[in-house]
Chain A
Amino acid sequence: MNAYVTNTSNTHQGSDSLYKPAHTTILTPELMVQIDSILERFAKDPTRLVGMLLDIQDITPKQYLPKEIAVYVGEKLDLPLSRVYDVISFYEALSDVPRADIVIQFCDSVVCKVVGSRRLKEALEGILDIKTGETTKDGKYHLEAAPCFGACDISPAIRVNGVVYGPLKTEEDVRDALARYEKGGEARA
């Protein structure tokens, strides 16, 4: 039996965007302007590609880096698309496939750990009914751990689509933060 035949449709996760044209309208003129300013902020230095991509991902709907954005960044930095993709696919924190409408990250770096990011993690997993690294069935929420995002002063903190909330000590605090995000994203505590 040819094992391959049975496997053609059963590809690994992540390839579901395969062969589909990238002409969605993610890269809007507004997003382009924002991306440009991020690139400027990093002085278009190709050695800081990961940092740029992280920031761009944060402002992209569904928190990922689709082909059209990778192409755009590659052209601006004079890097081949394959190089940009190599980086995107290599780092856990970068995604080449749509994640969720709302990506929730909790910080698992030192300061937050000390003040209780573990409880935060458990609370989030409980509220969303998923494990860290997973997406809710309806595709709305994605939960992941992230290294320090500079909210140590209000730790333990979470970041919801790039908007930071903290300190979140109890499950109530967490629910409250999520509700506030959905109401209009007012940041901080």
Chain B
Amino acid sequence: MKDIQLTIDHKTIQVPEGTTVLEAAKKVAVNIPHLCYHPDQEIKANCRICVVEVKGSRKLSAACSTRVWEGMEVLTNTRKVRDMQRGILELMLANHNQDCLKCHRNGNCELQDLCERFNISRTHLEDAVDALPLDNTNPSLVRDSSKCIKCGRCVEACQNVQEVHVLTHSHRSTRFNIAPAYEMPLEDTLCVFCGQCAAVCPTGAIVEKDDTDLVWEAIEDPSKHVIVQVAPAVRVALGDAFGLPKGEIVTGKTVAALRRLGFDQVFDTNFTADLTIMEESHELLSRLSQLSKGEKPVLPMVTSCSPGWINYIEGVYDDLLDHLSTCKSPQQMFGALSKTYYAELKGLAPSDIFTVSVMPCTAKKYEAARPEMTSGGVREVDAVLTTRELARMIGSAGIEFAEIEEETFDTPFGIGSGAGAIFGATGGVTEAALRTAYEVVTGEELLSLEFKEVRGLEGIKEAEVAIGDEVVLRVAVANGLSNAKTLMLQIRRGESPYHFIEIMACPGGCLGGGGQPIRSTNDVREKRMDALYKIDEAQPIRKSHKNPDVLKLYETWLGEPLGHKSHELLHTHYHSRGK
């Protein structure tokens, strides 16, 4: 591609043809204000906050949608530009419920940042905020239209990234709004609660449902034994919230911080990720052996650990539910064990145990609240905190996260293999399952553990893996629901060539989940992904079926994979969500 020479604020630079002024300005260390622009999204150019002056043009131009040209002279910081930008901000604030002090995005809000930058405090304009009622009736997300600046980023995430098509623009002029059809609450729509809308919202207009109070209360309650599990993708993201380099591995610090917060025991979801692999790979092998006997098992088998994905298939592809693995997710397997095995071990009544999980995901809150997710007569997981909520708790406890000394997980759910760790990345479940399935089938040691074809951020990945001499396993991996759609339509048409399909609702897998620290762009996702594979490499045990504590659990209590107890505790069923 040709290079273009232009000047931005009197500095001459060269950038590839097709670059926008906004991106070009980054190269000269100028951050042009923006709201509807998002680096991973299509250009929307509706907020106009990014205006710049271009020599020779009387009108101001939107930097996010204007492409550079040879000899262009751009000024980003003139009086005219600043006045315009201030004016736009003031208009936004005039219809904005400015309760920053009580807002989840306080200190991490793009609108607030801009107000600070332009030195705008409360506007004098009348604070008559005309908004839809608060939507807080679902377990995962809260939509507060009074803080919506109508930038359309959430619509882009919901319609184009996820293709769930819940959020939409509606009406015109003064009634212009961003909401589901007929202004329904999310709960009444096919929303899958992935939280990708919340992850890209520049303001506090869509946030996770806050469960921190519930957890603080449990911790304070002397009659409760409060335990916590930490998902694989949290340990490569939590540091973001405390200014550590993106993708920094903070496992030990997370454990330490959770102990300071007052949790009685701190466990690793990687342990139950290994358990999931034990169950899921045996389930796959049993379907495959049916196939070799000439029977007609339901194939491809599709993974079931991403709750956003489960909500989606139950809503849209409910004719394909038999394809799902019956395995509960690692979060719920942990919850089930916590109220049964662990309760017995500790001599506690299941109702005295309060199980918390820390997840990168808002859909996990919905999953935990499902009526079928009970064991030992009680709810398996009592509260789910997203990575963001945990960061808030750590912050409000005054813990200096960056400084805290590392600690290790408690037993008996403290060991996770490298295979469990990579659950947090798209392709990780497949790779983990292949490591175990290969060795279970062949009885031989797998020499090369890494299945590079299924790694990376690409939307759909495929691989063929020879297992022993006879079986060639065809697998596909999708991340982001728009890609899931492609694979499901293929199954519907009877054209799916695969035996096994892994689907993660969120782009990049859990590491890009809707509950991760704000500003999880694709660049950040890549760093987190590298970090997870680094954790895997550094692990002495890298296969789920070699996790000594998992093996012990089967020997002493659970029996066989897919055995009676497993079925009762670790597997589930699905239902159509209708419309």
Contacts and interface: CB of A to CB of B under 8 A. Distances in A.
Contacts of B132: 11-12, 15, 18
Interface string A51-71: 000000000000000010011
B166 A82 contact: yes
B145 to A, nearest CB: 9
Interface in A12-53: 12, 14-15, 17-19, 22
A173 interface: no
A103 interface: no
Contact of A15 (B174, B180, B183): B183
B483 to A, nearest CB: 17
A12 to B, nearest CB: 6
Interface in A60-112: 67, 70-71, 80-86, 89-90, 96
A7 B130 contact: yes
Interface centre among B131, B169, B579 (most CB of A within 10 A): B131
Given A67-B181, A82-B167, A86-B168, A18 B133 contact: yes
B46 to A, nearest CB: 15
A94 B435 CA distance: 57
Interface string B205-223: 0000000000000000000
B553 to A, nearest CB: 44
B168 A90 contact: no
Interface residues of B, number: 33
B159 interface: yes
B172 interface: yes
A11 B172 CA distance: 16
Contacts of A70: 181-182
Contacts of B169: 86
Contacts of B184: 18-19, 67
B171 A14 contact: yes
Interface in B91-136: 97-99, 102, 127-134
Given A3-B129, A7-B131, A7-B146, A18 B170 contact: no
A96 B182 contact: yes
Interface centre among A8, A9, A19 (most CB of B within 10 A): A19
Interface centre among A3, A11, A96 (most CB of B within 10 A): A3
Interface class of chain B by DSSP = loop
Nearest to B166: A82
B181 A11 contact: no
Contacts of B171: 14, 89-90
B170 A4 contact: no
A19 B185 contact: yes
Nearest to A67: B182
A82 B146 contact: no
Interface in B148-183: 159, 165-172, 174-175, 180-183
Nearest to A75: B579
A85 B170 contact: yes
A82 B165 contact: yes
Given A67-B181, A82-B180, A89-B170, A8 B134 contact: yes
Contact of A81 (B98, B165, B175): B165
Contacts of A71: 579
A83 B181 CA distance: 8
Contact of A80 (B127, B130, B165, B183): B165
Nearest to A8: B133
Contacts of A67: 181-182, 184
Contacts of B146: 3-4, 7
A11 B167 contact: no
Closest 6 CB pairs of A and B: A80-B165, A85-B181, A82-B168, A89-B170, A4-B97, A3-B127
22 contacts: A2-B99, A3-B129, A4-B97, A4-B134, A4-B144, A4-B146, A7-B97, A7-B130, A11-B130, A11-B133, A12-B132, A14-B175, A19-B185, A67-B181, A71-B579, A81-B181, A82-B165, A83-B165, A86-B168, A89-B172, A89-B175, A90-B171
Interface of A: 2-4, 7-9, 11-12, 14-15, 17-19, 22, 67, 70-71, 80-86, 89-90, 96
Interface of B: 97-99, 102, 127-134, 144, 146, 159, 165-172, 174-175, 180-185, 189, 579
Given A8-B134, A14-B175, A22-B182, 7 more contacts: A15-B132, A18-B132, A70-B181, A80-B159, A80-B165, A82-B180, A90-B170
